[in-house]
Amino acid sequence: MERSLTLTPDPLDEPALVATRRMTGDMGAAVYFSGVVRGSEDGQPISAIEYECFRPMAEHQFHQLFDELEHRWPVESLRLVHRLGVVKVNESSLWVEVIAPHRGEAFAACQWLIDEMKRVVPIWKKPVV
Partner 1 sequence: MTIRIQFWSYFKDLTGCTQASEELPFGSTIGDLLQHLHARFPKLIAMQNSTLIAVGVEYQARDYVLKDGDEVSLFPPVQGG
Footprint on this chain of partner 1 (rule: CB under 8 A): 35, 51-54, 56-61, 82, 93-94, 114, 117-126
Binding partner of residue 89 among partner 1, its own copies, none, CB cut-off 5 to 8 Å per kind: its own copies
What CA–CA distance (Å, rounded) separates 80 from 58?
12
Q: Which is nearer to its own copies, 15 or 56 (CB)?
A: 15
Question: Pick from 106, 105, 96: which is nearest to 30 by CA?
Answer: 106
Strand partners, 82: 7, 94
Bridge partner residues of 124 (DSSP) = 52
- State in angstroms the smallest separation of the CB of 100 from its own copies: 11
Strand 48-53 to strand 85-88: parallel, antiparallel, or no bridges (unpaired)?
Answer: antiparallel
- If contact means CB under 5 to 8 A according to the sort of partner, which of partner 1, its own copies, none does residue 69 touch? none
Of 16, 28, 10, nearest to 79 by C-alpha is: 16
From the list 9, 7, 11, 115, the residue with the least C-alpha distance to 60 is 7
Residue number, 21 or 102, with CB nearest to partner 1? 102
Residue with smaller CB distance to its own copies, 24 or 44? 24
Window contacting its own copies (CB under 8 A); options: 36-44, 53-61, 64-72, 121-129: 36-44
Candidate segments 37-45, 54-62, 66-74, 77-85, binder of its own copies by CB under 8 A:
37-45
